Structures are given as structure tokens and as C-alpha cells.
Amino acid sequence: MKNFLATSALALLALCALPAFGQSGAKAGEAGAEIEFLKNSETLRSNFVNDISSRELADAVANKITKYEIDRFAAPFGSASVNDIVQRNCRAEVVKTDRGLVGRIYFTHPDPSMASRLANLFATEYVEHQKRLASGERVSELDELDKKIKSAEKSLDSARKIMEEVSERISKGTNVSDDLQEKAATNLANASKRLSELHKAKKKLAKEIKKTSVPARVLK
């Protein structure tokens, strides 16, 4: 998502029927959704229109249209592809309101309920992208922890097998040195401790990501 990825600030989402906007900016057959920017970000506002009109976002929105909606959605537009219809019938603008500058997303469709559905899908996908950007770096850390956990699990399995072999030899009356027994027990304890610490670290990081990766809320 080259164009869409350019925007990294957070946004606050407000979903509402277009009449709530007043008459300014609205055209016949349109429904809309509204984005209130959480941070005073000039970059976010300046990229907003391009982000909403990007093919990448249109494709993401098209993928969210269910199989039960496709025929009703596409029928008025003949043989055009769903992705083209989605991109061509959406527009966006940044306007000044009594709450400050907000982004508005409009979608045109003969079916008012479908127009509203698509405008809201655009708004939701836009904000979800902001969420992914906000948490992306931490998610990479989480992926690294997952790799370490898999490695630690293998080490623990190996330590358990060695400990089982030592125990079996002792049960059969085979002479096993104290050093070997102690080493096997120590390795098992260390491997178990390491895995436990990694799981705790993952749980902590997951909580942090959940707290920091929610850049939007729906205004009732």
C-alpha cells in the first residue's frame, strides 16, 4: 500500500448518515461517514483525500463486501468490476466544522443503504489502517517473541528427553555420575524458566499493543 502507507498519524472515527453533515458538500445519491482526526496532524489531513481515493484502499473495501451483497451492489453498474465500482464512486474532502477540521467520505449508489454501507466501510478500513500503523512496530516485536518461544520449546523438549534418559538409566541400575544428573536437571530447569519468561513477556507486550493500537472509536 504505497500511497495509503504514507499516513501514520492516528484518527478518530465517527460514522453517521450523511444528513448529519448538513447540506454542504453532499450530492444526490450519496451517503457518508466522517473522520475526526485524533491528533492535530497536518500530514494526516493533507494525505486524507489521496489515501481514501487510493486503489489499495478500494481493494481492501471491496474485499469486505459479502457474497450476499455483491449482486445488489454491482447490478446498477453493468459489467464494471466490483473493485472499479468501489474506487470510482467514492470521494473525500477535508472540511472545517465547529469541531475543527474533519475528513468526510462520500459514496454514491442508487441504493441508499448500500451507499451508507460502503461509506462506512471506507471509514472503517481507513481507521483500521491507522491502527495497524500505530501498532506495527510492536507487532514485529511480538513476532520475534513467537520465534524465540518456538526455539525455547524445542530446547525444553530436548532437555526433557535427556532428563528422561538419565532417569531411565538410573531405574535400570546403570551407574550415572552425579555431575551428569545435576547437569541434566539444571538444563531442564533453565529451559523451563526461559520458556516461562518468554510467555510472560509475550503476554505483557500483547497487553501493551492492545492499549496503544486503538486510534479510533465510534461516536454514538
* Alpha carbon separation from 114 to 6, 10, 48, 78, 119 (Å, rounded): 29, 27, 23, 16, 9
Q: How confident is the model at residue 174 (pLDDT cuts 50, 70, 90)?
A: confident
pLDDT digits (tens, 9 = 90+) for 23-43: 345 565 788 888 877 754 677
Residue 19 clears pLDDT 50, i.e. is over it: no
pLDDT digits (tens, 9 = 90+) for 69-93: 999 999 999 999 999 999 999 999 9
Q: What integer is the mean pLDDT of 61-73?
A: 95
Q: Beta strands of 4-150 (E only): which ranges? A: 12-14, 30-36, 90-97, 100-108
Model confidence pTM above 0.75? no
